[in-house]
Amino acid sequence: MLTITRDLVDRIIAHARADHPDEACGVIAGPAGSDRPTRFVAMTNAERSPTFYRFDSIEQLKVWREMDDRDEEPVVIYHSHTSTEAYPSRTDISYAMEPQAHYVLVSTREDLETDRLVVDGVEFRSYRILDGEVTEEEVRVVESYA
């Protein structure tokens, strides 16, 4: 299960809407081992594409070093799909390299029909991706962490 504050959900959604129709991507860092996302970092999609994303490599180095210095890890790695459902694609699965991360996918597609969480017209789902296997998980949105 992913437990995440409403504020962080809103920031992911806002980023996805702003970059639509290109895919938006980013990370939410949190204290290592806490499983608690706290620090929102929007990343540049170096591909600037409606069908692909890749963190800008130099920006990634800077952000990963900051996390190291703060004893943080990427608790959430998010990206948007802009014309398909918020489910990991084959490439999403094959390049998933952070086994401890929650992979959040949002969808800004138009014909939205889903029984999953929808915020401001955008579908929001979360997964674990481990050794090529995808497991969807429940998303619990809270006002703040107790």
Partner 1 sequence: MAIEVRIPTILRTYTDGAKAVEGKGGTLDELIGDLDARHPGLRDRLVEGEGLRRFVNVYLNDEDVRFLGGLSTPVADGDTVTVLPAVAGG
Binding site for partner 1 (CB under 8 A): 25, 27, 43, 47, 51-55, 57-58, 60-61, 64, 77, 79, 88-92, 95-100
The helix (H) or strand (E) run that includes residue 59 is helix 57-69
Nearest-approach distance from CB 146 to partner 1, in angstroms:
29
Of 6 and 94, CB closest to partner 1: 94
Nearest partner of 76 among 52, 106, 47, judged by Cα? 106
Nearest-approach distance from CB 144 to partner 1, in angstroms:
28
Nearest-approach distance from CB 137 to partner 1, in angstroms:
18
What the block records as the tokens of 99 is: 């086994």
What is the DSSP code (8-state) at residue 20?
A: T
Of 50 and 141, CB closest to partner 1: 50
In this structure, are residues 17 and 120 in contact, taking their beta carbons and an 8 Å threshold? yes
How many residues in the chain? 146
Of 50 and 139, CB closest to partner 1: 50
Nearest-approach distance from CB 82 to partner 1, in angstroms:
11
Provide the pairing of β-strand 2-5 with 139-142.
parallel
